[in-house]
């Protein structure tokens, strides 16, 4: 099944990423940590659909997600079907693609397809495409790290029209490893908070 979705992506090309798209995906939560307080366990971000234009029934049939980190310092571990998943039919499927497509810890590919015997899915605001688990390298240098969707592979397909569904995927999840509190300037605090809150204003 996953090869079918990936082959469909090759035929249709990448889904357009345009400002006028009626849908977007936000990736979060963002986090801010200091070098001495880097969490040792897995963290996660959810990929959440947002209706940013006039709501419409997109007739979602299937999608591929190419989840990337921008640089070493965070490590992509695995992807799971999230709570409040976009597909509501019990016949829908969700899976992480095999190593022939994924390249951990920098890239994970996800394939999802709706119920082949059911109706195509109307994407509802607040529903989710995936939950991505990652770890932070305890020796990572300070800086800003991103988890994002690669527009070169990410694709949402309408079963009603057979065409790509426009979804704005330009907003990444952010991990900030900042300086120790004693050395944190007011300007640094303002910058970090601005990055963490940029989608929520």
**CA 19, 23, 29, 35: dihedral to nearest 10 degrees?**
-30
How many angstroms separate the CA atoms of 10 and 15, rounded? 11
191 pLDDT exceeds 80? Answer: no
23 pLDDT exceeds 60? Answer: yes
148 pLDDT exceeds 60? Answer: yes
Q: Which residue, among 18, 23, 28, 25, has the nearest Cα to 51 in the 3D structure?
A: 23
- Which residues have CB under 8 Å from 130's CB, separation 6+? 46, 47, 65, 67, 79, 80, 81, 82, 94, 110, 112
Q: How many CB atoms lie within 10 A of CB 47?
A: 24
| pLDDT at site 3 | 41
| pLDDT at site 47 | 98
Which residue has better confidence, 12 or 147?
147
Which CATH fold topology does 2-197 show? Immunoglobulin-like (2.60.40)
Categorize the per-residue pLDDT at 159 as very low, low, confident or very high, splitting at 50, 70 and 90. Answer: very high
Categorize the per-residue pLDDT at 195 as very low, low, confident or very high, splitting at 50, 70 and 90. Answer: low
Average pLDDT, the chain: 85
- For 9, the 3-state DSSP assignment is helix
Q: Exposed/middle/buried for 194, CB within 10 Å: 0-12, 13-18, 19+?
A: exposed
């Amino acid at each position: 099944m996953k090869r079918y979705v990936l082959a469909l992506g090759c035929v249709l090309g990448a889904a357009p990423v345009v400002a006028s798209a009626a849908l977007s995906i936000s990736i979060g939560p963002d986090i801010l940590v200091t070098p001495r307080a880097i969490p040792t366990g897995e963290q996660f971000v959810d990929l959440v659909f947002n209706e940013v234009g006039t709501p419409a029934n997109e007739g979602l049939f299937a999608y591929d997600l190419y989840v990337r980190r921008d640089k070493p310092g965070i490590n992509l571990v695995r992807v799971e079907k999230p709570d409040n998943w976009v597909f509501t039919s019990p016949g829908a499927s969700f899976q992480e693609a095999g190593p022939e497509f994924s390249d951990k810890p920098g890239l994970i590919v996800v394939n999802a397809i709706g119920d082949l015997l059911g109706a195509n899915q109307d994407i509802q605001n607040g529903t989710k495409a995936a939950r991505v688990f990652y770890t932070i390298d305890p020796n990572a240098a300070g800086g800003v790290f991103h988890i994002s969707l690669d527009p070169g592979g990410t694709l949402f397909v309408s079963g009603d029209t057979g065409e790509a569904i426009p979804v704005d995927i330009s907003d990444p999840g952010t991990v900030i490893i900042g300086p120790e509190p004693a050395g944190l300037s007011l300007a640094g605090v303002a910058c970090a908070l601005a990055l963490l809150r940029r989608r929520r204003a």
